[in-house]
Amino acid sequence: MSSRAVPPRATASRVDAAAERSQRNACPAMPDPSGTSAAREVWSGRNPGRVLRTRRLALAVPSLVAAGGIAWLAALAYPAGVSPLAWAVLGLFSLVMAWQAFTACQYAYGLVAALLGDRAKSALERRSEMAGAVPAGAGRTAAVMAIHAEDAVAVFARLRVMARSLAQAGTGDIDIFVLSDTRDGAIAAVEEHEYARIQAWASGDPALPRIRYRRRTENVGRKAGNIGEFCRTYGGEYAFMIVLDADSLMTGATMGRLVRLMQESPRTGLIQTVSYAAGRDTLFARIQQFAVRLYAPLALRCLETWQGPEGSYWGHNAILRIEAFAQNAQLPRLPGREPLGGEILCHDIVEGALMVRAGWEVRLLPELGGTWEEMPTNLVDLLGRERRWCQGNLQHLRVLPWAGLRAASRWHFLVGILSYGVLPLWVAFLGLAAWQAARTGDLGLLAYGLTGHGAAAHALAALSIAVLALPKLLSLGHVLASRQRRAAFGGTRSLLASAALEQAAWVVLWPVLTLFTAGAVVATFFGRVVRWETQDRDDRQVSWGEAFRLQADAVVVGALIAFALGLVGDAWLALWLAPLALALVTSPAQSVWTSRAQSVWTSRADLGRLARARGLFLNADDTAQAPELAELAQIRGLPTHGTVHGTVHGTVHGTVHAPVRPAPLEPAIWLAADEA
C-alpha cells in the first residue's frame, strides 16, 4: 500500500493481507488524503450495493416528498406575489421545514427498521449479540485514553473501574495507556501521583491489565497528533486500539466483545459504539441524559441501517485496526487561515471517512451496551461545547471536495454542516415572518398555517405539525410498546411525566440554543476563532455573573422582542411570540437554577437528585445500574442508585481524596508497570 496515495482499487485480499500484517509491522507513513482515486468499498453480504441503494432511497424519497409537499402547500396557502418580503419568508420557511421533514423521516425510518429486528441488522451486529470469549491469538489490544489537563483523580478512577472489569471478564491481552498532553506542571504532577497510586493498587493482582502512562514533551496536532504518535511508537505491538475519551467508561465484557468482532471481521477497520451520557446529577444533566436515552435509539437505528459499512467515527468509545488507521487516517492542515483553515478540529469524522475511502468497513453498533461517557452538566458548558463543535463542523466545508470520498461520507459531513447552518435560517425566518405578521395582521407561515383558511392552509398546518412532533412521538410510542423498555424508564407513569416535563424544558431551551449557535455560525464566517480548551466535566454551580456574561445577547434580544410586541399591539402575535421572548430573557436563570447545588425548596437535596427521588427523568442507568457505574460512583464518593446488575466486585482499594499537588516527579516518556 503506497505511503503517499490512496490505493487505487483496494481489493478484499489486500485488505485481508493488511489485517494479517497489523500484529507485526510498525505503523508506516500515512497517505495524503488529497489522493484522486477512490477505493472500491469492501462489503460483506450478498448484493450489498443494491441493498444500500434501496435503503438510502427509502429514506431520501419520503424526505424529498415531505419537504416538497410543505413548500408547495405553503406557496398555495400564502402566495408571495411580487413582495420580496413574502418571497423571503416563503423561501426560508421551505428550507427550515425541509430540514425538519428530513429529521422526521429519519425517525419513521428508524422505527420501521427497529420493528424489522434482525432483518434490518448487519451480520456484524447480529454477531455482537452473541456472547463469546476472545479467541486465542486475537492479537494484543491497547485501550488508549488521551487526556489534556483533565481531573486526574476522576480519570484514574475510571481506569481503575475498567481495569477491574477487564480482569473479571477475563478478556485477554488488553493493555491500558494514558496519553497525556498536559502542559501545566502542577496538573501533570497530579497525573503522575495518581498513576503511582493505581500502580500500587494493581501490583498485587496479576489478573489486572498493565496500565501505562506517557506525557508528550511536545503536543503537536492535539488529540489526533497524540493518537498518531502512539501509533508510530507502539502501534507495531498491537493489532487493535480501543479509543477512550477522558470521560469514557467501558465494561471489560464490551471491550472483549469488540476485540472478538474485529478478529472475526478482517475487512472491518473500525467499530463505533454508542456511549450514552451517565453519572451526572444536576437537573440539567438528568434531563439531557433522559432525553438522549429516549430519543436517540430510533435515529441511531436509522443511521446504522442506511450507512451500512460506510459509517462514521465519533472519536471515542470505538475500536479500530491500528495499521489500517495509521496507513489511511493522517490529517493534513486545511488551506487558509483559521477558523475554517488550519488544524482539523472535528477530526474523528474525517479519519473515519478516510478509512472508508481506503476500502475498510466502518461500522456502528447502536445497541451494544456497556459503554458510557459524560456530558455538560449545565447550559453554560453546553453552549461552550456547541460553539466549539460549530467551528469544527463548518471546517468540513473544506473537506467535502476531497477526491475519492464515498457519497455516504460526504453526506455525514453535510449533515453536520447543515445541523448548524440551518439555525441562522431559523432566526432569519422567525424575524422576517414576525415582521410580515406585524404588517399584515396575519400570523401566516409564522404559525405554520394554523390561523389560515382553506384546504391548503389546513393541510400545511397538519403536515408541519406532524414533521415537528413525529420524532418525539415515535420515540415515545416505541418505548411504550415494550414492557421492558417502559421499565427501564421507571414505568409508564414516570416515563410520560418525564417526557412532558422534558418537552416543557425544550420549549425554553430551544430559543437559547438556536440564537446562540446561529450567532456562532455567523461569527465563524466572520473569522472568530474558538480555542479548544479542557472541558469542565463535573457537576458545578453556574454563577449569575458567568451566566449573564455568556447569555447577555439572549437577554437583550428577548427584551427587544418584548418591546417590539408592545409597540405593535397585535394580541395574537404577542401570544405566539411571548414564550420565545420569555425563554431568551430568562436564559441566565435557566443556567443558574438547573445547575443549582441546592434546591430552591429544600437544602437537603439538589434539584437533579430530588427529581430522581420523585421518579422523574429516570433511564436504564438509574433503574438497573451497571456494576461499573456503581463502582465508579463508590470510588468517587457519589451515591449509587437503582438495582445493580451483577455485583461490584471486590472492595475499593484506597480512598480517592481531593486532588493533591505533590512535588513534581521527573518527566518520563513512559512509566509502565513492567518498566519500573
Q: In the 8-state DSSP scheme, what is residue 541?
A: P
- Mean pLDDT in residue range 86-94: 97
* Whether residue 45 has pLDDT greater than 70: no
**Residues in CB range of 241: below 8 A, 6 or more apart:** 141, 142, 143, 144, 227, 230, 231, 235, 319, 320, 322, 325
Pseudo-torsion of CA 602, 603, 604, 610, nearest 10°? 50
Residue 2 is which amino acid? S
Q: In the 8-state DSSP scheme, what is residue 367?
A: T
CB 299 within 8 A of CB 350: no
* Whether residue 642 has pLDDT greater than 90: no
611-640 pLDDT, tens per residue?
A: 999 999 999 999 999 999 999 988 877 666
What is the per-residue pLDDT for 187?
94
Cis peptide before 339 (omega within 30 of 0): yes
415-461 pLDDT, tens per residue?
A: 999 999 999 999 999 999 999 999 999 999 999 999 999 999 999 99
Grid cell for residue 500:
412532558
SS3 364: strand
- Could you tell me which residues are beta bridge partners of residue 276? 372
| Strands annotated E in 106-230 | 141-147, 174-180, 211-215
CB 521 within 8 A of CB 423: yes
What is the per-residue pLDDT for 14?
37
What is the per-residue pLDDT for 219?
80
What is the per-residue pLDDT for 675?
36
Provide the CA 345 distance to its chain's centre, in angstroms.
15
Which domains are seen in the chain, by residue range? 121-405 (3.90.550.10)
Please state, rounded to an integer, the average pLDDT across all residues of the chain: 86
- Mean pLDDT in residue range 347-351: 97
pLDDT confidence tier of residue 220, bands split at 50, 70 and 90: confident
pLDDT confidence tier of residue 572, bands split at 50, 70 and 90: very high
| CA–CA distance, 644 with 628 (Å, rounded to integer) | 9
* Whether residue 29 has pLDDT greater than 50: no
- Mean pLDDT in residue range 142-160: 95
pLDDT confidence tier of residue 15, bands split at 50, 70 and 90: very low
| Residue of 293, 175, 167 whose CA lies nearest to 237 | 175
| CA–CA distance, 252 with 262 (Å, rounded to integer) | 15
Q: Where are the alpha helices (DSSP H) in 358-454?
A: 379-394, 407-440
| CA–CA distance, 78 with 55 (Å, rounded to integer) | 35
What is the per-residue pLDDT for 47?
66
Parallel/antiparallel/unpaired status of strands 276-277 and 371-373:
parallel
What is the per-residue pLDDT for 600?
47
What is the per-residue pLDDT for 138?
59
Sheet holding 276-277, edge to edge: 249-250, 371-373, 276-277
| CA–CA distance, 533 with 150 (Å, rounded to integer) | 10
184-209 pLDDT, tens per residue?
A: 999 999 999 999 999 999 988 889 99
pLDDT confidence tier of residue 217, bands split at 50, 70 and 90: confident
* Whether residue 566 has pLDDT greater than 60: yes
| CA–CA distance, 96 with 417 (Å, rounded to integer) | 14
Stated pTM of the model: 0.87
